């Protein structure tokens, strides 16, 4: 599993970091992103849908958002 620390990064940086990480894993690989920008709640699922990947989980905590993405 790859972990991306996207805390304090604003759009489009979390999406760019996810794109870079996706390129490094095989199909079925899991990426966990921790972010603070609420825009990721829309941007990451939309990006995954366009590029054929799967958002497995989104966990909204008080001060951060954790997203789990699987490369398809």
How high is the pLDDT of residue 26? 97
Calpha distance 4→57 (Å, rounded): 15
**Which pTM does this prediction carry?**
0.94
- Residue 11 annotated among the catalytic residues of the structure: yes
pLDDT in tens, the chain (72 residues): 999 999 999 999 999 999 999 999 999 999 999 999 999 999 999 999 999 999 999 999 999 999 999 999
Given the residues 10, 11, 16, 56, select the one marked as catalytic: 11
């Amino acid at each position: 599993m790859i972990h991306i620390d996207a805390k304090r990064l604003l759009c489009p940086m979390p999406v760019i970091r996810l794109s870079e990480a996706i390129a490094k894993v095989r199909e079925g690989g899991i990426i966990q992103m921790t972010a603070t920008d609420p825009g990721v709640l829309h941007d990451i699922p939309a990006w995954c849908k366009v590029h054929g990947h799967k958002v497995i989980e989104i966990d909204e905590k008080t001060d951060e958002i954790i997203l789990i993405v699987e490369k398809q």
